[in-house]
């Protein structure tokens, strides 16, 4: 919804900014997959670590580029009508940057010696990894296509995932298993929850006005109701 404001401005600038956000999401998925491989598939953290950190630096650099581009646009080209778009793109870029940070958090678990690859529940842990990786790709394509109805579908699915993560976190926090079993799993699902929530924030740029963006990283009870 809010992105339509920019159709009144420079279409080439729109395409450049959206393309950079799409690249950030692609990099975020790459970093997430690398980190998950180290945690879940037995990949050597020492081998994939350089790629994880290089990719994260690229995500951060692209976010800075987007900020500079938008500041220049507002300063030089804006008539004031596309200020909501500028705010929306800055919020979206920040959400994607946070996804990269949570991918690093998952990688940190692997560097701390956590290895789920031989665990009895590896199939379940891996299934969530696959769902999140796919959701990153789906979010990127939906954003680039400005596909509002698809965004609503993924927002609904994302809310279901958030509830599942909370159930898993509660399960492992209260587990009577040794701490080296429950704690890393609780953290893993916490990071998946945050990544999913930030993806949902990205999708809100297609469905909500600028003042209602970026509340899906809040718990459901702490989000602003739509009628406020």
d(CA 196, CA 206): 16
pTM metric for this prediction:
0.88
d(CA 89, CA 51): 26
The percentage of residues in the chain with a pLDDT greater than 90, rounded to a whole number, is 72
Cα distances (angstroms) measured from residue 149 to each of 43, 74, 153, 203: 38, 29, 6, 10
Six token digits for residue 179 = 């701490």
Contact call for residues 69 and 6 (beta carbons, < 8 A): no
Question: Where in the chain are the domains?
Answer: 2-222
pLDDT-derived band at 222 (thresholds 50, 70, 90) equals low
Question: Which residues have a Cβ under 8 Å from the Cβ of 31 and sit 6 or more positions away?
Answer: 51, 52, 55, 56, 59, 100, 103, 104, 107
The per-residue pLDDT for range 82-127, each reduced to its tens digit, is 677 788 899 999 999 999 999 999 999 999 999 999 999 999 999 9
The per-residue pLDDT for range 149-184, each reduced to its tens digit, is 999 999 999 999 999 999 999 999 999 999 999 999
* pLDDT value for 228: 41
* Arithmetic mean of pLDDT, 48-63: 97
The Cβ-side half-sphere exposure at 50, using a 13 Å CA radius, reads 2
Does residue 33 surpass a pLDDT of 80?
yes
| CATH number for the domain whose boundaries are 2-222 | 1.20.58.220
Q: Select the more confidently predicted residue: 159 or 5.
A: 159
């Amino acid at each position: 919804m809010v992105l339509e404001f920019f159709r009144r401005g420079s279409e080439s600038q729109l395409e450049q900014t959206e393309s950079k956000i799409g690249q950030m999401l692609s990099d975020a998925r790459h970093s997430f997959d690398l980190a998950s491989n180290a945690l879940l598939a037995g990949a050597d953290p020492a081998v994939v670590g350089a790629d994880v950190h290089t990719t994260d630096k690229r995500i951060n650099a692209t976010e800075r580029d987007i900020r500079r581009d938008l500041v220049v646009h507002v300063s030089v080209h804006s008539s004031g009508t596309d200020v909501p778009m500028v705010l929306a793109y800055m919020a979206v870029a920040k959400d994607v940057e946070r996804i990269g940070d949570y991918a690093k958090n998952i990688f940190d678990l692997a560097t701390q010696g956590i290895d789920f690859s031989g665990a009895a529940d590896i199939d379940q842990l891996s299934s969530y990894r696959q769902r999140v990786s796919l959701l990153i790709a789906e979010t990127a394509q939906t954003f680039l296509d400005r596909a509002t109805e698809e965004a609503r579908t993924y927002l609904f699915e994302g809310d279901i995932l958030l509830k599942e993560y909370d159930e898993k976190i509660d399960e492992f926090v209260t587990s009577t298993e040794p701490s080296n079993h429950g704690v890393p799993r609780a953290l893993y699902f916490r990071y998946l929850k945050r990544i999913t929530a930030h993806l949902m924030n990205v999708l809100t740029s297609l469905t909500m006005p600028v003042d209602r963006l970026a509340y899906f990283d809040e718990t459901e009870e702490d989000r602003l109701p739509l009628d406020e």
